[in-house]
Amino acid sequence: MNNFFDGGHVSFVIGAILYGAFILALVAVALVLAFLLARFLLVATQAAKIYVAKNGATTPTTVAAPVATPDAPVAPVTPTTPVATEKPATKPRTPKTPPAE
């Protein structure tokens, strides 16, 4: 007699159910990631449209040429000498002498 509960079929059915649940979870994660990507791209596109409408497009062809302004005269640089500060008077250091034997 070939009974369904003789050991081999039950483990196959449990494995098939677990495999199906795993595949469903992977598909759900892929769909959520695709939804988030599409939403991000739509929001970024709308933000870019608003930015361009507010600030104008800044492509190299539409950038205005800079206006030439006369240079202001620059004062000559005078070298400064560092101010010498005196150190407080301290007693000179002497080397230690070895102990007398």
Q: Which tokens is 36 given?
A: 């988030």
Asked whether residue 36 is domain-assigned, the answer is yes
Contact 44, 36 (CB under 8 A): no
CA distance 35 to 41: 10
Asked whether residue 72 is domain-assigned, the answer is no
Structure-derived torsion over alpha carbons of residues 41, 47, 49, 51, reported in degrees to the nearest 10: -150
The domain tally of the chain equals 1
Asked whether residue 22 is domain-assigned, the answer is no
Q: Which tokens is 3 given?
A: 């009974």
Asked whether residue 32 is domain-assigned, the answer is yes
CA distance 42 to 40: 5
Asked whether residue 35 is domain-assigned, the answer is yes
pLDDT, tens digit, for every residue of 34-43? 999 999 999 9
* pLDDT beyond 90 at 30: yes
Asked whether residue 39 is domain-assigned, the answer is yes
Q: Looking at the chain, which runs of residues are DSSP E strands?
A: none
Asked whether residue 48 is domain-assigned, the answer is yes
CA distance 46 to 39: 11
pTM over 0.85: no
* pLDDT beyond 90 at 27: yes
pLDDT score at 6: 62
Asked whether residue 51 is domain-assigned, the answer is yes
Domain that holds residue 38: 28-57
